[in-house]
Amino acid sequence: MSKPATTREPADRHRRRRAAEESPAAQDATAAPGADDEPLSQPTAPTDAPPATAQAASAPEAPPDRAAPRTWPDEADPKRKKVPEGLWMRCVACGEMLFRKALEDNLHVCTNDKCQHHYRISASQRVQQLCDPGTFEPMDEHLVSADPLHFTDLKPYPERLKSEIERTGRNEAVTTGSGYIHGRRVMLAVLDLTFMMGSMGSVVGEKITRAIERATEQDWPLIIVCSSGGARMQESTLSLMQMAKTSAALAQFDDAGGLYISVLTDPTTGGVTASFAMLGDVILAEPGALIGFAGPRVIQQTIRQDLPDGFQRAEFLKKTGFVDRVVKRAELRREISRIIDYGGK
Residues that bind Zn ion (CB under 5 A): 91, 93-94, 110, 112, 115, 117
| Shortest distance (Å) from residue 106 CB to Zn ion | 11
Compare residues 49 and 327 and give the one whose CB is closer to Zn ion.
Answer: 49
In whole angstroms, give the CA distance from residue 66 to residue 3.
32
Question: Minimum distance between the CB of residue 33 and Zn ion, rounded to whole angstroms?
Answer: 32
Question: CB-wise, 102 or 307, nearer to Zn ion?
Answer: 102
What is the dihedral sign for C-alpha 211, 344, 314, 92? negative
Count other C-beta atoms under 10 Å from residue 102's C-beta.
10
Residue 222 vs residues 273, 277, 280: alpha-carbon distances, Å: 17, 12, 9
Question: What residues contact residue 106 under an 8 Å CB cut-off, 6+ apart?
Answer: 330
Q: How far is CA 56 from CA 72, 106, 297, in A?
A: 14, 29, 43
Residue 327 beta carbon to Zn ion: minimum distance, rounded to whole angstroms: 19
Least CB distance to Zn ion at residue 113 (A): 9
Task: Quote the least distance from Cβ 30 to Zn ion, whole Å.
Answer: 37
Task: Output the DSSP codes for 250-266.
Answer: HHHHHHTT--EEEEEEE
Q: Closer to Zn ion at the Cβ: 112 or 125?
A: 112
Nearer to Zn ion, 49 or 191 (CB): 49
| Complex with Zn ion: residue 91 or 189, whichever CB lies closer | 91
Q: Is 319 helix (H, G, I), strand (E, B) or coil?
A: helix
Whether the ω angle into residue 267 lies within 30 degrees of 0, i.e. cis, is: yes
Question: Is 121 or 339 the residue whose CB approaches Zn ion more closely?
Answer: 121
Q: In what order do the strands lie in the sheet with 282-285?
A: 137-139, 174-181, 184-191, 222-228, 260-268, 282-285, 325-326
For Zn ion, the closer CB: 98 or 238: 98
